[in-house]
Amino acid sequence: MALDDRKSDFTFVGTRPNRPDGLDKVTGRAKFGADISAPGMLHGAVLRSPHAHARIVKIDASKAEAHKDVKAIVTRADFADVPFRPGLEGEFYNVLENVMAGEKALYDGHAVAAVAATSALAARDALKLIEVEYEVLPHVTDVDKAMTPDAPVIREGAADYSVPEGMHPNVVRYHESGHGDVEAGFADADLVIEDSFVTEATHQGYIEPHACLGMLGNDGKGELWCTTQGHWIAQKTCAALLGIETSQLRVTASEIGGGFGGKTTVFIEPVALALSRKANRPVKVVMTRSEVFRATGPTSSASMDVKIGMKKDGTISAAQGVFRLQGGAFPGAPGDMTAMCAFAPYNLNNVKQIGYDVMSNRPKQAAYRAPGAPMGAFAVESVIDELCNKLGLDPVDVRLKNAAHEGTKASYGPTYERIGLVETLEAAKAHPHYAAPLKPGQGRGISCGFWFNHGGETSVSLALSEDGSAQLMVGTPDIGGSRASMALMAAEVLGIAYENIRVTVADTATLGYNDVSHGSRVTYASGLATIKAAKHAVEKLCERAAAKWGIPVDAVKWENGCAVPSGPNAGDFDPMPLADITADMGSTGGPISGHFEATPEGAGVSFGTHIVDAEVDPETGKTSVTRYTVIQDAGKAIHPTYVEGQFQGGAAQGIGWALNEEYVYGEDGRLQNSIFLDYRIPVASDLPMIDTVIVEVPNPGHPFGVRGVGETGIVPPLAAIANAVSNAAGVRMKQLPMSPPRILAALKDNG
Amino acid sequence: MVEVHLWSGLRSLTGGHHVVEVEAKTTGELLVALVQAHPQLQAPIDAGVSIAINGRVIATGLTEPIPEGSEIYLMQRLRGG
Amino acid sequence: MSKLHVSTTVNGDAVEYLCDPRETLLDCLRDKLNLTGAKEGCGTGDCGACSVTVDGRLVCSCLMLGVEAEGKQIETVEGIADGDVLHPLQQKMIEYAALQCGICTPGILVAAKSLLEKNPNPTEEETRYWLAGNLCRCTGYDKIIRAVMDTAAELREAS
Amino acid sequence: MDYHSPASFAEASALAANATGITRFLAGGTDVLVQLRSELVKPDTLIDIKKINGVHDITRNADGSWTLGVATTGAEMSEHPELGQDWPGVVEAMDLIGSTQVQGRATLTGNLCNGSPAADSVPAMVAAGVTVTVTGPDGTREVAVEDIPTGPGKTSLTKGEVVSAVNIPARGENAGDAYLRFIPRTEMDIAVVGVGVDLRLDGDTIIEARVSLGAVAPTVLLVEDCAKAILGSTLDDATLDALAAAASAACNPIDDKRGTIAFRTEVVGVLAKRAAKIAYARAKGENA
């Protein structure tokens, strides 16, 4: 993509206006997934397996069908036949199998049937009338156990081409990469540390449960309203699972109450549509919190071995990691991403990384903010911290010494373009936090983190109105204030006030395809698309002005919201404001709009460095995070307040993951803690203020220099907090979460 | 001709080679040429790959131009959250 | 099973509904009165997204039955603004970007308003503990706490 | 499910006595509604006792003792100007339960009758020697709090019986109580361990003591050995160690999602020491 028009001085970009949807959000007017109803609407509920692994022998729904309030019941037979393929090639099959179980229930909470009834209570009551006969099978939920020879097989033939021969069928994808000679590198080291680390599965924990309202007729035409990070992927997937044409299903994204990756796929949406098709009425399905925990996509749990060699001066001579990720009963655990990201912050001559994707009897993992990267960073940055401690080296200096920069060969292969890791480390070193004294019982931790970021298919349409205002249609659901950023970027190009631009998240029928709001892509890709669409409109505005003036179009340029002659030779005309051109656009050539439909490829990788102080109560093992600073390269912050918000949110989620959040499974393979009481996300009183430093090293792949900021912020916290806790407690913590029982046990073991 | 660097996990499909030289002007041509050179590479390409051109990761596009002498890395398809 | 008739007052308006005894106040507000500002994030009183006040007392509307609302005065997020004039808390929440997705915002606003009515000069710690039952997954709470504290300061100056 | 809101405890008791299936009383409802919603318990009969006269009253009796109505909420207890001066441990224990929102509804009685070994207010009430009045088909009886729970989710109340008042003893001189619990976060968790201590001094010497432990056995424990460990002492370091040892020895905990046996056994001693120090300081009239 040509970027011949880079911009570095801005009028609107970098300011902090109120978000356009603010009023709706503070008055209760904003419509989220569950906030809608339709005439004649039924309520759906899903029957879920109580077993971690069981053959479904028989489903007898006759009693439920006979109930007067029940209008439809669906099982797997009510969905399309979707072909099975190994690995991730058969993703529609995997999603269908997850949405409604086929021959086997594969985890506690797996959907086996669904009901539509005249009220939510009636639907829930009707579930108890459905009799399912199960043949319970042996199960496995632990990643290491799932790889052992005698582990129960989740699904034969699910492994793709990459898995070496002789591995258990539960290992479904394998990744190996790196360069140099790690053995030679280790031989060259003054100190080599090798250690093993474990992280538990965590949930994205968005506060809004999945909710949707579906209507599908026997003519194959349908409407779906749902809370999602991407309504086009919902459209495509639902159509495939129901055997209808994609374009016949119109999907509207509601306001979304958090996603963090967990709403990038479908769960109840195809079920609501299948029920509706059968009942011939609209069906609303809203998950309970317990269903969200049991049956949507948590992140993977991980078991990892990392070995790093260091010279006395802090130079890393070799690094090697093996990352085993469990992603539930389907292929998709991001072991490959963990491997590729783990050593990415460093300039290494000798590096080797291996990643495994392993199936177990747990729910199908979904993306969670930089999926795979935080776990690897935890293991790698813990070992680096330990090396620094043992060699008596400053942890920021060591990272600076080894930091990747423009021209470095990345651990995953290619050579970096301009990147900002060094700048974040220098900012860390200069930050007052890094020099602040620690109290007794406190420890400080540092970690770097890396994430790729993503571009993705993007469509944007911008239409000017007669009065000179603009309406901008984007296709990426706004999960954190992106409408404000889009309006700022459009204002920057058009030169009209931010307030005069109305941004709408369009439905699937009114805009071309858009990839999901994921991969930190929205401000990058929809932003780039907005800029291009606005420029497209500006070209037309210049054409109209040129025609009015009777001069060639290339003699007109756009400045501060006005067409102006491009030089003294172009003629002497007063600037012509946008509103003067749009006022009579109907008679000067018709409506003026700008469009963008493409796949921006230039997301630009991103790095962050976090500094954390933690205090550990040596008698109880309880940790408090006492100070936290996030430093991250944003490329260019369009709306700095919302960039800070992304940094703070990533840190807070990282604190939860590091200290208290985990999926706890019993011996019976059932999830033990499927409510917020026992799945402990941070509450307001758990956290300090979270300081932020926005570093701006422009991304060469974006006209304004934007790098995505949503995901990188969750990569460093696990390691940074583990390092702080380990330094406070005087014992290396190698398992997350570092719950008080684990810390107290580690302290006891340490004497 | 461009040199395409493969991740080491693919060596078993290319007879041990981790650099493959092909003739290609775009990312799409490059994938076709890779399969011509090593038919077993069809499987990883079907499973999803990204291509890094001079350090910039092209996640999915098959029409991206490949300038002569570019540094090319084949990568597993990136996924986000 | 017969339904129960309930007469109550919501944001100053006299309202009536019929409910099943198993339905919560939250169900009734959302499904019978179409006041969807209060959200169900958990149904177990752990997230606070359904916060309302009942006779001036902050509660989770998911932990109260619809039938218990008989004769009570209920206030929800829809009643915080005075006509088209936003409450200072609402204004500050927007200015501070104290919301990202906004699903927790109605509950935070109801709870914070209740705090400031009780304690016009809360410390940061008091504010954090008062709001501990209002989960926010997006912001890390930083901007929320600042918005509430700044509103308190502004209201103190104004009074 | 049938819903009733009787006007007297006698009526409530009669409704319960005549009900078939599962009956639940509704006070604050913060446990009952969670169970209802998650379908853990599906009552056939729900008896709302909040419309009975006086159930929100907090009364200081002539002898200095206190009577609390059964629907008195945690928030009402915390806001009371004098109750917390007499019994800070009991009030603070109640205040630890759940969020501000939950405090607006939750009650001592509900916390007790839910039968959870981890209920925060129960160890504090046991230490303080609190009793409850129980109204049943055969009239009323007064029962010590420690005699109500019989196991997780179970109580000694029989069919038709309902708790109709909470009775807190007169504070008296030179005495103080305290309750501490361990949770991994700062709020919103169920106690992993809880310890209640109530003691009275003569000068610097402890002459009366009651120590109770929560979440370390199937019911809240009143531990005689803990009391013995500190009686007659001035709470010196050796005494505190003996108290901790007695508390750990009395534990019979389980491994669960909230904590391990080893953790609970260790931390119960830590909290016993810390709670005893607070109670001691309070008995001395110091701020703690």
D259–A744 C-beta distance less than 8 A: no
Give the CA-trace dihedral at A308, A310, A315, A316, to 10 degrees: -10
Amino acid at C55: D
| Cβ-based neighbours of C158, under 8 Å, separated by 6 or more | none
Distance CA D217, CA A215 (A): 52
| Tens digits of residue pLDDT in D119-154 | 999 999 999 999 999 999 999 999 999 999 999 999
ipTM of the complex: 0.97
pLDDT tens, D210-238?
999 999 999 999 999 999 999 999 999 99
What domains appear along chain A, each with residue ranges and CATH number? Answer: 22-30+455-598 (3.30.365.10), 372-453+604-749 (3.30.365.10)
Domain covering D187-283, topology: Enolase-like; domain 1 (3.30.390)
Question: Among D257, D262, D267, whose Cβ lies nearest the Cβ of A664?
Answer: D257
Whether A13 has a pLDDT exceeding 70, the answer reads yes
Instruction: Give residue B70's domain range.
Output: 2-76
Q: Which of the four pLDDT bands, split at 50, 70 and 90, describes residue A351?
A: very high
Give the integer Cα–Cα distance in Å for A274 and A265.
17
Q: What percent of chain A has pLDDT over 90?
A: 97
How sure is the predictor about A447, in pLDDT bands with cuts at 50, 70 and 90? very high
Write out chain D residues lying below 8 Å of C43, CB-based: 34, 37-38
Q: Does B65 touch chain A (CB under 8 A)?
A: no
* Mutate: best of C1, C2, C55, C65, partner D, most D CBs <10 A: C65
Structure token pair of residue D6: 């009787």
| CB atoms C42 and A258 under 8 Å | no
Q: How many whole angstroms from its chain centre is CA A478?
A: 13
Report yes or no on B81 lying in a domain.
no
pLDDT tens, residue by residue, A19-45: 999 999 999 999 999 999 999 999 999
From chain B residues 21-50, the ones with a CB under 8 A of any chain A CB are: 40, 43-44, 46-48
Nearest chain C Cα distance for residue A643, angstroms: 10
List the CATH number of the domain containing B51.
3.10.20.30
Output the six-digit token pair for D118.
Answer: 């981890």
A698 within 8 A of A418, measured Cβ to Cβ: yes
Provide the token pair at C150: 């700044």
Helix (H, G, I), strand (E, B) or coil at C147: helix
- Residue percentage of chain A with pLDDT more than 70: 99
User: pLDDT per position in chain C (159 positions), as tens?
Assistant: 589 999 999 999 999 999 999 999 999 999 999 999 999 999 999 999 999 999 999 999 999 999 999 999 999 999 999 999 999 999 999 999 999 999 999 999 999 999 999 999 999 999 999 999 999 999 999 999 999 999 999 999 998
pLDDT above 80 for D83 = yes
- Using CB atoms, pick whichever of A340, A518, A605 lies closest to residue B81: A518
CB A398 within 8 A of CB A315: no
Select from A88, A371, A701 the Cβ nearest to the Cβ of B81.
A371
pLDDT for A297 beyond 60? yes
Q: Work out the average pLDDT over A675-687.
A: 97
List the chains bordering chain C where 3 or more Cβ pairs fall under 8 Å: A, D
Give A385-419 pLDDT, tens digit per residue: 999 999 999 999 999 999 999 999 999 999 999 99
Point out the least confidently predicted range of A565-574, A636-645, C108-117, D46-55. A565-574
Give yes or no for residue A122 having a pLDDT over 50. yes
Suggest the residue from A29, A207, A680 to mutate for an interface test with chain C (most C CBs closer than 10 A): A207
By CA distance, what is A256's nearest residue in C? C101
Q: How confident is the model at residue A1 (pLDDT cuts 50, 70, 90)?
A: very low
Query: Which chains have 3 or more CB–CB distances shorter than 8 Å to chain A?
Result: B, C, D
Encoding tokens for residue A213? 């309202």
What distances in angstroms separate CA A48 from CA A273, A299, A670, D184, one per listed residue? Answer: 18, 20, 12, 31
State how far the alpha carbon of A546 is from the alpha carbons of A543, A562, A563, A575, C95, in Å.
5, 12, 9, 12, 41
What distance in Å separates residue A37's CA from the closest CA in chain C? Answer: 9
Query: Are A204 and C77 in contact (CB < 8 Å)?
Result: no
Identity (one letter) of the amino acid at A351? V
Instruction: Give the torsion through C-alpha atoms of D144, D148, D151, D153, to 10 deg.
Output: -140
Check for a shared fold between C4-79 and C88-158. no
Write down the pLDDT at residue D39.
84
The tokens for D110 are 């509900």
Q: How many CB atoms lie within 10 A of CB D21?
A: 10
Three-class DSSP labels, C74-100: EECHHHCCECCECCHHHHHHHHCCCCC
Which residue, among A162, A325, A450, A526, would best test binding to B if mutated, counting the most B CBs under 10 Å from its CB? A162
Average pLDDT taken over every residue of chain D: 97
CATH homologous superfamily of C4-79 equals: Beta-grasp domain (3.10.20.30)
Domain ranges (residues) in chain D? 2-116+131-168, 187-283
**CATH class in words for D2-116+131-168:** alpha beta
- Mean per-residue pLDDT of chain A: 97
Burial class (CB in 10 A: 0-12, 13-18, 19+), B45: middle
Our count of domains for chain B comes to 1
Residue A4 has pLDDT above 80, yes or no: no
Q: What is the pLDDT of residue C2?
A: 83
**Above 80 in pLDDT, residue B6?**
yes
Is residue B45 domain-resident?
yes
Pairing mode of beta strands A249-253, A222-226 = parallel
Beta carbons of D95 and D103 less than 8 angstroms apart: yes
The alpha carbon of residue B28 is apart from the nearest alpha carbon of chain A, in Å, by 14
Query: Does any CB of chain A come closer than 8 Å to the CB of residue C18?
Result: no
Average pLDDT over residues A725-733: 98
Decide: A270 and A46 in contact? Cβ < 8 Å. Answer: no
Crossing angle of helices A482-494/A527-549, nearest 10°? 30
A675 vs C: CB within 8 A:
yes
- Sorted by where each begins, the domain ranges of chain C are 4-79, 88-158
- Residues of chain A neighbouring B81 (CB-CB closer than 8 A): 260-261, 264, 366-371, 518-519, 711
Tokens of D32: 């009952």
A519: left (phi over 0), alpha (psi -120 to 50) or beta: left
What pLDDT sits at residue B59?
Answer: 87
Q: Which residues of D161-179 are buried (b: 16+ CB within 10 A; e: fewer)?
A: bbbbbbbbbebeebbbbbb
Q: Does A685 touch chain C if contact means CB atoms closer than 8 Å?
A: yes
pLDDT of residue D288: 63
pLDDT of res. D38: 86
Does residue B44 fall inside a structural domain? yes
- The answer to whether the beta carbons of residues D9 and D49 sit under 8 Å apart is yes
- Which of D182, D186, D268 has the highest number of chain A CBs within 10 A, making it the mutation to test binding with A? D186
Whether C63 has its CB under 8 Å from any CB of chain A: the answer is no
Average pLDDT over residues D108-129: 97
Average of pLDDT values for A257-269?
97
Contact residues, D window 194-253, toward C, CB-based 8 Å cutoff: none
The CATH number that domain C88-158 falls under is 1.10.150.120
- Residue D287's pLDDT is what? 73
pLDDT at residue D40, rounded to an integer:
84
- Cβ of A290 within 8 Å of Cβ of D38? The answer is yes
Q: Which residues of chain A from 249 to 268 reach within 8 Å of chain C, CB to CB?
A: 255-260
Tell me the residues of chain D between 46 and 65 that have a Cβ less than 8 Å away from chain C: 46, 48, 50
Contact A672 D192 (CB under 8 A): no
pLDDT tops 50 at residue A2: no
Interchain contact C57–D (C-beta under 8 A): yes
